[in-house]
Amino acid sequence: MSAIPKAVLYYYPLSVWSSATLLALEEKGYGDNDVDLKIVDLCKSYRSLRLNDSQGEIAKGENYGPPFLRLNAKARVPTLVVPLQKTLGEDVESRYKAITETKAIIGFLDKSRSPLSRTNTTSDAPAPSLMPASIAFLATSKTIVEEILHSEQNDPNNLTYVNARDDTSLRVLSESLLPYFKGRQEALAGYLADPESRVTDKVKNFWRTKKEAIDALMAVYEKGDKSESELSDDDKAKRKEFFTTAKSVWEEHLAKVLLKLNSEIIGPYALGEQYSIADPHLAAWLTRIVMLAGGSAEDNGSTVISKLESHIGNGLAIPKIRAVAVAGEEAVSKSKLAEYWDAMKERNSWQKVYSNGLH
């Protein structure tokens, strides 16, 4: 009998939205052999800084290469490729579909493993439903996941790229991101210059647009080790514009977003006592933001929230509303976000996905 084709998750271990998907796989109790995990090398030189090569199979084509673009025209991870069920019989050529948005992937993973479904699973772990338990909860989940976490303005990668508001932090940021951006820039330049490449104009334009965005950031990072007085007028203007954007993103926009999240979530999880589809999104997003604010995996909720408040500055104070009595100690009041962090940290899924530190 021919083997039943498996779903393949294309991911990158340091990517926020890949991590959300990995959290969901764990929470749903999928076994190690249920889904094939393949790393898409967003950037080789960046990966070699932080990861060792033994983690899974590495797809050398990178996310901008034509083979991956055929799966996901936006060149992003995570991407889940699933066999279509009607073709699962013997001697039938398998057909696949690619699911290219984190929200859809997590929804799919939630539906595809239930206490009743016994197909293609190697795990005995429980299969809890992550669907919100009421229409009201579903609405809150949508607000958190779609309106807040996945809105373009709150893109955790963009927040990463502009996480510097003075010369000292720009120097640190540039040093850490330059290898990553250089690798991506070189990959795109290579694809664009390849005389053998038989891609459409649409793909070429996509590569060009991506490269222009990277070039603009690189122009700032490449001068990141210079003091203001060493810069040309043109470079001074670019740095100034970068700081203006960074200030508006971090101090005005993100401050409001955190206050909104803190009021939307119910606690201890996003939708109350039950872990739901909103949680892998929120846990992965918040973990990245906490990392950007200098938090670490050892910090408790109150510590990471105060680190976030001081990193953002501008008088941000996230309201504390709960007095929680810890065994033998006085009740401490925490914000809902702090309580959320503590609840996430307790979970096996979070401990597994962030076992090498926050990212």
Ligand X SMILES: N[C@@H](CCC(=O)N[C@@H](CS)C(=O)NCC(=O)O)C(=O)O
Q: Give the DSSP H or E segment for 327.
A: none
Of residues 9, 23, 26, 63, which one binds ligand X by CB under 6 A? 63
Binding-residue pattern over the window 100 to 139 for ligand X, x denoting contact by CB under 6 A: -xx-------------------------------------
> Phi and psi (nearest 5°) for 272?
110, -140
Least Å from the CB of residue 11 to ligand X: 9
Least Å from the CB of residue 78 to ligand X: 6
Closest to 350 (Cα-Cα) out of 71, 23, 13: 23
- Number of Cβ within a 10 Å radius of residue 340: 25
The answer to whether 283 contacts ligand X (rule: CB under 6 A) is no
Least Å from the CB of residue 122 to ligand X: 26
Of residues 10, 15, 191, 268, which one binds ligand X by CB under 6 A? 15
- As a whole number of angstroms, the distance between CA 350 and CA 343 comes to 10
Least Å from the CB of residue 145 to ligand X: 9
Cβ proximity to ligand X: between 17 and 350 the closer is 17
The answer to whether 77 contacts ligand X (rule: CB under 6 A) is yes
The answer to whether 142 contacts ligand X (rule: CB under 6 A) is no
The residues, ordered by sequence, that sit 6+ positions from 192 with a Cβ below 8 Å of its Cβ are 204, 207, 208, 211
- Give 269's DSSP letter: B
Cα R_g (the chain), whole angstroms = 22
- As a whole number of angstroms, the distance between CA 44 and CA 58 comes to 10
Least Å from the CB of residue 211 to ligand X: 11
- Parallel, antiparallel or unpaired: strands 322-325 and 7-11: unpaired
Of residues 28, 47, 76, 239, which one binds ligand X by CB under 6 A? 76
Q: Contact positions toward ligand X, by CB under 6 A? A: 15-17, 42, 63, 75-77, 101-102, 150, 157
